A = this chain, B = another copy of it.
């Protein structure tokens, strides 16, 4: 069996050739679950598909599904590896000089959403987002706990680096709150632009878009 396994592994794992069999199967399983989930939702609609349906299609138990994804929506949206407080703080503390800290945060959030190494799954996901746009808003529990983490992490950072605040009149906690809301918004706008139009929307573009939208004449700071 070893050589057959080897062969399949070489075929499918384009990006990471030196993967162990365990990790290879894990990755393949994750993609299979995502693929089946997306396919079923495209065919039958979000509410018509249960987690157990997805499990049957992917030929796994329900528990295994929830070993891979924290929720039904996570499997569809491809949220994974959402950063924890430590990672965010490390990134902020170690960042280079270009742009303000919000760029880092917004970029981080964007980089963790819907980033797929499988073209097939990426295509299906874009289709689901077009067909069921409510998913952007319905399934944000993950983003929200991410938001909580963000507030914590950014708040702590700003407390230690008060000169980095963008809004000097505001307390660090409050600015952290705004930062997190805006970061998630921008990630959402990026995802929407990409899902609807296909072309890539950079963090800076999304930020400028939202800023221009909120203050079209630019007279917030005269």
A77 interface residue per 8 A CB criterion: no
Distance, CA A175 to CA B221, complexed state (A): 23
A220 interface residue per 8 A CB criterion: yes
Nearest Cβ on chain B to A130's Cβ, whole angstroms: 11
By the criterion CB–CB under 8 Å, are B138 and A145 in contact?
yes
Distance, CA A151 to CA B212, complexed state (A): 19
Interface of A is mostly: helix
Distance, CA A21 to CA B212, complexed state (A): 50
Q: Collect the chain B residues with CB atoms within 8 Å of residue A26's CB.
A: none
Q: Count of chain A residues with Cβ under 8 Å from any Cβ of B? A: 49
Distance, CA A138 to CA B141, complexed state (A): 6
A19 interface residue per 8 A CB criterion: no
A67 interface residue per 8 A CB criterion: no
A192 interface residue per 8 A CB criterion: yes
A198 interface residue per 8 A CB criterion: no
